[in-house]
Amino acid sequence: MVTIYDIAKKANVSPMTVSRVINNSPSIKESTRLKVEEAIRELEYVPNKQARSLTSKETKLVSLVIPDISNPFFTNIARGAEDKALQLGYQVILGNTDENKDKEAMYINMLMSSGVDGALIVPSSDDSAANMKRLVKRRIPFVYVDRTVDSVPADSITGDNLNTTRELVQHLIELGHERIGLINGPAYLSNARERAQAFRDTLILSGIQPNPRYMIETHFKQDNLDEIISKFLSLRENERPTAIVAANNFIGVNTLRALRSLGIRVPEDISVTCFDDPDIIPDYNPFLTVAKQPAYDMGYIGMQLLIERIQNEAPAATRKIVLPAELKVRTSTSRRGAQD
Amino acid sequence: MVTIYDIAKKANVSPMTVSRVINNSPSIKESTRLKVEEAIRELEYVPNKQARSLTSKETKLVSLVIPDISNPFFTNIARGAEDKALQLGYQVILGNTDENKDKEAMYINMLMSSGVDGALIVPSSDDSAANMKRLVKRRIPFVYVDRTVDSVPADSITGDNLNTTRELVQHLIELGHERIGLINGPAYLSNARERAQAFRDTLILSGIQPNPRYMIETHFKQDNLDEIISKFLSLRENERPTAIVAANNFIGVNTLRALRSLGIRVPEDISVTCFDDPDIIPDYNPFLTVAKQPAYDMGYIGMQLLIERIQNEAPAATRKIVLPAELKVRTSTSRRGAQD
DNA sequence: CTGTTAGCGCGTTCAC
DNA sequence: GTGAACGCGCTAACAG
């Protein structure tokens, strides 16, 4: 391995001078700088980050801890985060927790020993608090994306769950629906809680009494099809909702698949709408009415917040950024009764 | 920061003993091991990977260099790679090249200075050879995924482009099509070349003379809609193909969108089929007939090959693994003339 | 079984 | 402007 000593010898200077050239210190004679740069090129020297980190205490590495890169929503977050990181000279280490706090704990361990400068985290549950506290203790900056753990404050960037839910519900109400169901994620996630709350509030404000039987709870992962089917079957046929708000894209898609398997037509029998587009490719399959959250921006801005924090350019107070979603009305929702 | 010295003091042993415990060396008395582990727990000690790497020359970091994590095909590769890496105690650094060899070169630089132990690479073009050669020179193991750069040999895991293309074309021929078009990626990519060759060969074997005008070349990225439209418009209406093979998912989807915007019906007017499912979520939108390549396995096995190579458990000769695709016949392809 | 010594590659003092 | 000496946290190579 080529080190600064090798190139020092070749350029007839001390290793320190080489180090100065690499870190382009101002006080260096132009002639020696050129000499050193020449040697660096000839020997194809590449600085050793490990050694540098040992003294500088920074690695230019950040961790991205998300539930599952396979979910297009998180895919976009990752792409946004990576773009911003690259721009600012950081590299990102990817971790999939599968919404499992033990797997999350594992990544937190790895991330601490890797010496990353900070982390962008979609926490797996309120029970993640223990994991987050360990980061705080070690003074590793982190930023919440999409969800927060309120007991451990930190910068955050999330969707506007309140208004987005309201828009979705109002869209259905305007179409004449009153028996509206919510298929939600688990209540131990901040975003699911906020959506449930907003769902209830919107109905009440519209003079509709929320029916607890219409508020189903499942999880945000890809494999919730069977659960959705069985919960649906537990409702008597004549008391089924005529419209459904699914709290994320997987739930939306699996609701579609569940209804299809039960022979229920969408939107003729039931209108379906959800958070987050299931497609990475815009408008490829314009069917589902969705509230599209700006996932890319969440990752992009989240990474910016994080790196500002790492570089001590952030204000002392934690920042809470809330991004609006875009309602995309397509054909999975229609006027109640228009088809009967 | 808590170091082995701190815990050595607390446990009344030498730092070396602590190091031995951490790396669970066999020769250590049970009682002292317990004492040390106790201290580690109390002080919440986490080993510093940088320092360790300085002597061990390994970082347990691998790089995943792909064109774009937003493409579901690469998303699945990433997920597979990450799963395997975690299993084997490695962390993965993500890089998106956008099929751009300069961006690729940048990542190669970063990866070298980060001291990653190896890399999983989807090369951006045959011109990537220069980048690959730099890795060879530095003896950084790498594995090609999906595509190869033949001038620089290395382990590889790719799809079976020959047979997959043949199956796709034969499927169309069996449906009565003869005017079959190929919308391909650029010829400087090994997989596109193989697909073009197999496409021609299959037609000829079936007694159909390949028409060069039906072999359109664009790129594999998301934003090729306009290009596809204009290439399509350059064909006279009565000499348009009746079926199309799209060489990847983005091309497939954008062909669909292009045809839609031109008022051409699929499959009534033109059948469309492509490589790689555009959906992450299985069978959510069962429309496109696709040849689904096992992307997850490519990432998973690719990572395994890589880590074997890193740990010197691989044979000297480069390994070439070729994985078959699964033909999923859906409704975007139909019998020629059946609808007229 | 355990401790001592030295050094990994680099940057931070300080001098010169 | 430039260099020598020391230390970052850890482990390999020897002792003992």
Give the mean model confidence (pLDDT) for residues B63-73.
Answer: 98
| pLDDT value, residue A103 | 97
pLDDT band at B232 (very low <50, low <70, confident <90, very high): confident
Protein residue at shortest CA distance from C1' of C9: A51
| pLDDT value, residue A237 | 81
Taking the C-alpha atoms of residue B74 and residue B65, their distance in angstroms, rounded to an integer, is: 10
Is B76's CB within 8 Å of A70's CB?
Answer: yes
Q: Is residue A338 part of a domain?
A: no
Q: Please check whether residues A143 and A180 belong to one and the same domain.
A: no
Average confidence score pLDDT of chain B: 95
Determine contact, residues B128/B97, Cβ cutoff 8 Å: no
Q: Please check whether residues B148 and B188 belong to one and the same domain.
A: no
Query: Which residue does chain A place closest to B86, by CA atoms?
Result: A95
How many of the other CB atoms lie within 10 Å of CB of B53?
23
Residues 6+ positions from B150 with CB-CB distance below 8 Å: B126, B190
Q: Is residue B330 part of a domain?
A: no
Q: Is residue B329 part of a domain?
A: no
Q: Identify the residue whose tokens are 């999409």.
A: A146
Is B94's CB within 8 Å of A94's CB?
Answer: yes
Q: Please check whether residues A169 and A22 belong to one and the same domain.
A: no
Q: Please check whether residues B174 and B94 belong to one and the same domain.
A: no
B24 touches strand C (CB under 7 A): no
pLDDT band at B269 (very low <50, low <70, confident <90, very high): very high
Name the phi and psi angles at B327, rounded to 5: -80, 125
CA dihedral sign, ordered B253, B258, B260, B265: negative
Long-range contacts of B217-220 (CB under 8 A, 24+ apart): B217/B183, B217/B184, B217/B185, B217/B186, B217/B187, B217/B192, B218/B183, B218/B184, B218/B185, B218/B186, B218/B251, B219/B99, B219/B185, B219/B186, B220/B67, B220/B99, B220/B185, B220/B186, B220/B189, B220/B192, B220/B247, B220/B248, B220/B250, B220/B251
Q: Please check whether residues B135 and B28 belong to one and the same domain.
A: no
A202-253: pLDDT as tens digits = 999 999 999 999 999 999 999 999 999 998 888 888 889 999 999 999 999 9
Question: What residues of chain A, 252 to 311, have a C-beta less than 8 Å from chain B?
Answer: 253, 256-257, 278-281, 283-285, 287
Q: Which nucleotide's C1' is closest to A3 (Cα)?
A: C9
Domain of A182 in residue numbering reads as 161-293
- Left (φ > 0), alpha (ψ -120 to 50) or beta: where does A317 sit? beta
Residues 6+ positions from B133 with CB-CB distance below 8 Å: B152
Give yes or no for residue A144 having a pLDDT over 70: yes
| pLDDT value, residue A340 | 47
Q: Please check whether residues A186 and A259 belong to one and the same domain.
A: yes
Q: Please check whether residues A187 and A277 belong to one and the same domain.
A: yes
Give the mean model confidence (pLDDT) for residues A274-298.
Answer: 93
Give the mean model confidence (pLDDT) for residues B68-95.
Answer: 97
Given B30, B56, B82, which residue is the final one in a domain?
A: B56
Give the mean model confidence (pLDDT) for residues A96-108.
Answer: 96
Q: Please check whether residues B72 and B50 belong to one and the same domain.
A: no
Determine contact, residues A206/A173, Cβ cutoff 8 Å: yes
Q: Is residue B115 part of a domain?
A: yes
| pLDDT value, residue A338 | 59
Distance, Å, A23 CA → C14 C1': 19
Determine contact, residues A258/A225, Cβ cutoff 8 Å: yes
Chain A CB contacts of B47 below 8 Å: 113
Q: Is residue A339 part of a domain?
A: no
Distance, Å, A46 CA → C14 C1': 28
Assess B105–A contact: CB distance below 8 Å, yes or no.
Answer: no
Distance, Å, B56 CA → D13 C1': 14
Q: Please check whether residues B223 and B168 belong to one and the same domain.
A: yes
Is A70's CB within 8 Å of B93's CB?
Answer: no
Joined together, the tokens standing for residue A285 give 């399959």
Q: Is residue B336 part of a domain?
A: no
Give the mean model confidence (pLDDT) for residues B31-55.
Answer: 94
Protein residue at shortest CA distance from C1' of D9: B51
Protein-contacted positions of strand C (CB under 7 Å): 1-5, 7-13
| pLDDT value, residue B338 | 59
Q: Please check whether residues A180 and A155 belong to one and the same domain.
A: no
The domain spanning residue A48 has which CATH number? 1.10.260.40
Q: Please check whether residues B27 and B41 belong to one and the same domain.
A: yes
Q: Please check whether residues A288 and A176 belong to one and the same domain.
A: yes
Is A281's CB within 8 Å of B222's CB?
Answer: yes
Is A94's CB within 8 Å of B93's CB?
Answer: yes
pLDDT band at B322 (very low <50, low <70, confident <90, very high): very high
Residue A232 class from Cβ within 10 Å (0-12 exposed, 13-18 middle, 19+ buried)? buried
Give the mean model confidence (pLDDT) for residues A55-63.
Answer: 94
What interhelical angle do A161-174 and A190-205 show, nearest 10?
40
Protein-contacted positions of strand D (CB under 7 Å): 1-5, 7-13
pLDDT band at B281 (very low <50, low <70, confident <90, very high): confident
Long-range contacts of A129-137 (CB under 8 A, 24+ apart): A130/A105, A131/A101, A131/A104, A131/A105, A134/A108, A134/B44, A135/A108, A137/B44
Q: Is residue A218 part of a domain?
A: yes
A191-201: pLDDT as tens digits = 999 999 999 99
Nearest to A252 by CA among A236, A228, A226, A269: A228
A33-51: pLDDT as tens digits = 999 999 999 999 989 999 9
The domain spanning residue B248 has which CATH number? 3.40.50.2300
Average confidence score pLDDT of chain A: 94
Give the mean model confidence (pLDDT) for residues A102-116.
Answer: 95
Is A50's CB within 8 Å of B50's CB?
Answer: yes
Q: Is residue B210 part of a domain?
A: yes
B48 touches strand C (CB under 7 A): no
What domain count does chain B have?
3
